[in-house]
Structure 1
Amino acid sequence: MGFGFSIWAFLLLNLVCCSRGFTPVDQFYVNCGSSSDAVVGNITFIADKSAAKYLLTPQEILADSNLNSITRADDSPLFRTARIFNGPSKYTFPIRQSGRHWIRLHFYPFTYQNYDMKTASFSVFSQTTTLLSNFTPKGAVVREYSVNVEKGDLVIAFSPSSNSNAYVNAIEVASVPDELIADAAQLYSSSGQFTGLSAQSLQTVARLNMGGPFVSLVNDTLGRNWEPDGPYLKQPNLATSKSNIPAVQYPNGGASADTAPPTVYGTCTKMNSDGDPTSNFNVTWDIPVDPGFQYLIRLHFCDIVSASPTDSVFDVYIDTYIVYQDLELSTKLYGKLATAFYADFVTPVLDRPNVSVSIGPSPRSSYPDAFLNGLEVMKIRNSEDSLAGASIFPSFPKSKKNLGIIVGLSVGVPVALILVGILFCMHRRRKRQQLKLSKTWVPISVNGGASHTMGSKYSTGTTVSVGSNMSYRIPFVAVQDATNNFDESWVIGVGGFGKVYKGELHDGTKVAVKRGNPRSQQGLAEFRTEIEMLSQFRHRHLVSLIGYCDEKNEMILVYEYMENGTVKSHLYGSDLPSLGWKERLEICIGAARGLHYLHTGDAKAVIHRDVKSANILVDENLMAKVADFGLSKTGPELDQTHVSTAVKGSFGYLDPEYFRRQQLTEKSDVYSFGVVLFEVLCARPVIDPSLPREKVNLAEWAMKCQKKGQLDQIIDPNLVGKIKPDSLRKFGETAEKCLADYGVDRPSMGDVLWNLEYALQLQEAVIQNDPDENSTNAIGQLSPQVGEFNHVETTTSVAQFETSSVDDLSGVSMSRVFSQLVKSEGR
């Protein structure tokens, strides 16, 4: 193979590429484990100690191979040292400019003291994406990713597998021009387009320089490496190469030096027709890939072959599909030769371990020829937010000789070194520099790991705002550790979804860990539903997610621990002490606040559809939080009155109108909550077949007593003589209204909330000369608004108690959510 250019031309070209290249706003290059900087090409990787402020890790373990040179696979100074992680750890890089960024991770295993990196197995996460899972590097490996990052922090987390360690030799994080990845690409297997590429996380699987040598980062404006295509050619004897780098031109608009450097567009692999005008064959490249993913295929063309613009006409295939028939570059480039051009295509989800690209002659061509200058294959994040797979992108050349020539020539250009050699960004201090790292990887702690109860057992709905790009993924090994390897003695409940374990993170945070049962009929559908629901909302009276785990086909969710379990367990069926009437009212008010927020906190109401005492949890201060959103549905559009849907819910709580008509509205939740109110008052199951027939169904029995004025005769014996008559009357009226046969006759949750607040005021008010009270309050000092459901001032009164419906909506993106945290009835 000949390369028709001089060394001086090459040096000049290199200088032009480096001096006019893209300058990243964000640049972080870390030589992990090393006490000194390392220069690779034109990039300075800073010593580990200088990057320590970005890192949180349980223990400082800096490994040195004690070799002056790595002479095995690749002669890179970055592979001489490594940082080892014996527990979950993370780097947090402050990002100044939102948009697409490179993440490059360098791995080279060696043995250091008692740590054998050759057997290390670990996972790596970034933001909401799994980059590597149970990964064991074999030899020198560089993994490259392209991710979209919001302005703020970019988190890269390392999690060792069970009984193993994690490590990394070097890390690169750098800005990328957003226009490098367009939003849409052709779906070659159909006539449609794949849209949304600009927001996708990608992994580089292959980046090939056709017909040329290895192109290192010093010859690429974006710091990329381009590998020779020879090893991927299916039949090398059918191909030959050509080079004319000085001839390369870039059009106005379209391809640029950032798309690919002249050293790529200036070489090509072409058909080896050997002067035979009857030649009829294809040149094919096979690229190993991971099945189960879609891939972005980028083809680079530049006609350095033809003598005139109309000489080359050829066909291009991806797998068995023809993506270009009779491709004539001159028609796309206004008749110009040697002008850069690229095209993007997206595959379907592949079910095989390779993808092929082929070029071949077109019958329209006067002479059989075809060429390709460059090829990039990028894996697209799947529906599980994962890029983890087995394929390895070898970012280093097969021959050290080529690398030595290119790096040597480029490093010899001092101007290039001055321009781009030592740029790195350390302008922002890490926001959480003073925080101690939990030994369990929890990228975000909700409410600081505990419920924020202040003063009252119910609140005005203060929200906790978390950046929407934060990751909540917790490695399986960390969940095992938190639950003592799912110790059966730690089980605190069993539901239709699976078992719930009490757990504790290494920083002392108590959690509830719900582990899905793969045989459960309530599994994936409800799991996904709750993800969709709680990803939109955060509220003091909704149970909060701390993290999730979906490794090893698990569906595990980790929540703030609710110390006092379910409301149901405090009413009957357990040995827990009985609750007082004021405590019960406060719990009902808190739950009403949570449901009212669901119904009004967004443009569309969210209907819980499974309101019951087992789905209302209480913390150590008896503050109530609504849980279990697995059956929830988004409410009707503004011009609709209901959602038509199959009937789901729990026996005894189910709205009879919803059951009859299969038409769901927010008033279905109101009915179920009315049943809960009577359950709280009477402290008995909503369905009890052991009782006489007229008493089996609590709602029916309580309604009969309420209408007869005999409600005081069926209340919990522990409350007899402790409820003031006015408070009981208001509470009974509220529950009765909730259980109206028709939804239109039922109050809104806002009205229910107002009346429960009023019932509490009535209970706490002091009647003059009452010997049991010494407060200065009196009934006469209460609001003159009695709180009737059709009272015109109701809305104002509700606003006094529910101070925020808009402020409760923080737009938090929480990746996996489910919260039926303790034993509950079957559905």
Structure 2
Amino acid sequence: MLIKFPSFCLFICKVPDFLMMGCKKFEIFIWVSSILCLACLCAGFNPVDNYLIDCGSPKNTTVGGRVFLSDKSGAKFLSTPQDVLANTDLNSITSSDDSSLYQTARIFTEASKYTFSISQHGRHWIRLYFFPFQYQNYNMSSATFGVSTGDHVLLSEFSARSASVKEFSVNVTSDSLVITVAPSGNSFAFLNAIEVVSVPDALITDNVKVAQTIQNFQGVWYQALETVARVNMGGPTVSFENDTLWRTWVPDQSFLVTKNGVKNISNIQAVKYPDGGATPDIAPSSVYGTATAMNASDPSDNYNVTWEFNVDPGFGYFLRFHFCDIESKGLNQLYFNVYLDSSNVGPNFDLSTLTSNALATAYYMDFVTVPAVSNKLRVSIGPSTLPSVDPNAILNGLEIMKMNNSGGSFSGADSVSSSSSSKKNVGTIIGASIGACVAVVLAVLVFVICRRRKQQALQGHSKTWIPISTNGGNSHTMGSKYSTRTNTSSASNLGYRIPFAAVQEASNNFDENWVIGIGGFGKVYRGVLNDGTKVAVKRGNPKSQQGLAEFQTEIEMLSQFRHRHLVSLIGYCDEKNEMILVYEYMENGTLKSHLYGGGLPSLSWKERLEICIGAARGLHYLHTGYAKAVIHRDVKSANILLDENLMAKVADFGLSKTGPEIDQTHVSTAVKGSFGYLDPEYFRRQQLTEKSDVYSFGVVLFEVLCARPVIDPTLPREMVNLAEWAMKWQTKGQLGQIIDPNLVGKIRPDSLRKFGETAEKCLADFGIDRPPMGDVLWNLEYALQLQEAVIPGDPEENSTNMIGELSPQVNNFANVDTAVSGIEMVNLDDLSGVSMSRVFSQLVKSEGR
């Protein structure tokens, strides 16, 4: 966000040429003008939400020009069972900038809440100040406690040993933010000060790459972040008074692995901010104007400058690199490499090109890491490998932030759900039970009414479909071969309309020998368009109850999406009372047919992981790619298609629904889906969220691992339902006992453990406890990395670290009731599968889902 200057400031800063006056008056004018301009420059970002609280203080406290309000009354923000206010003398405080905030504290003997009204949704700073001191019988150094919001566990089992500030960046989407401070066990909690402050929307965006692959990463904007390090390379501490967002930047000396061969450079006055790039909100000029650089004395010098940071294993990290070439005298003189651990994230980095051929221009780039396996993270800069380039490299600033895990926690062991009280869980269960009973009664009434109306409608109209378009003509074209563009109504104006004759020709007049699938909507034919494009033609059956609604939904959904992991809609036809959908042809059919029933070669574990990752990317795009999430509602292995390279694409959007409005948590709708994959919470409450897709995808993960149907009535009673059966083994820590025999001895234990944990979290009973699809994707990518990791002295083949032999299965599972009346369900004929014979739908009977 660029700082906007008042027009008067711009006027006086330019010092107009016509200003001809006496020297004394001119000097006074310049002096006043300079002060006004400096005031304009320091104005910075003006937050909509700006809560500054000095905990336990009897009066307001001013620090760096900012006023921290006393929370002594406690009535406005704080709900606490008792007031325990502590204070100490300034002599015991060693911290400088915030010393007055550390003089008082509030002690909590029970869980207490600060509630802040949020005027602007979006990212907010949450800063927690701690300074332990002795107050009466309370030795704050021994206090152990946690701090959480409604969505995230910020601190767990935390103990403060010295003066510190814990800083978090959280995306707040509700009208209030509740921060709970809760003692652990018989201990107590304390807090010296707290900030909740709005952050500019442009500060964190999704213009991020994964360090290990340099591929784009989506979803950072929704992540909560904890500041691990914010470093000013080559310069002194930048205090919060000199930062538009009240951040503190520390010197880099303590992080340097070796201090030899480096030099500090400074040229703050030269720093320029580009249009549409870095701004003072990204980092102040005092950061961009200093740098640590190589101090090469010879053209043959070849070494890296490296900084090392302590991190927590198991978490991903967001890193922002700040660059500004304040050293070069001319363009294209500085080329260097940038490393994040062993990954070269900036090969032959050229700031001149990136800053549109401008020197001393601020520039930054963002990366995320896969979950760390080490407790150290290294950042390095080093000489370029290009010929005839002098060895040099610079780094001006660096920010490292921990990303929350799939449980919304920064502690690893805890999640938001586990931090809730047992009373709340009991209340939730009771409420859900009562709600489910009411929902069932209402569902029966709605079902009866809808059924009567549908029967009346069928009696009053012919049993043929009415075409979507209202003009009777052709609309969008496939190329320009078939028709001319005209306006159409409703969904048809979003896709491509293909004449019936062209579809007939492509499918060899709907040759029965070209049938590759039969479903509830109708038959699916392979086909070839005039230009040689292979397609799958899905022709609706007029007698099917799966008709107009699904046809329209499929067109509306797929015509909006273009993603490599979503099957592409090529066109549709609604002439001659036909309803035909034309898709790209997927050479390798369904994932299901490769797992069982299709007689195809078994997939390797790496191939299965890559397929799951591809499908997760497609679903993540549906959930986050638009202003409103799109919920697939029928995620299953038969709706995951594979192209000639086994790349996964999600298909069949006939049941898809747009997600809830911003101020809502769910969409209330009739239950639809495939039996065995259906979210139990959605089934009970008829409330649909993105987490319903996450549950279904969790079932797919176990299906991929075990290579068996999700519901198989021919198996012993305890094994009928795959999800229940697999979860029993997962909770016992023996998931390796039930994997596909083709995978025995071929999965690394760490990879299987991460995969099993991911599937388990997806199958949580309540949607709030399930991770978002972005976290699922992240964990699957990590499972793949663990599988491919090369362990010294442990060759991949014949490794003793692979999963061992299967053991007999235990028969201790409850029966699964497969009879559900009054709910539209996929038929159990779904249990078989062949290569392309069930590509877009698995219904053999004509009844709808």
TM-score, length-scaled by structure 1? 0.50
TM-score, length basis structure 2: 0.49
Larger Rg: 1
Q: Which has the higher contact order (CA 8 A, sep 6+)?
A: 1
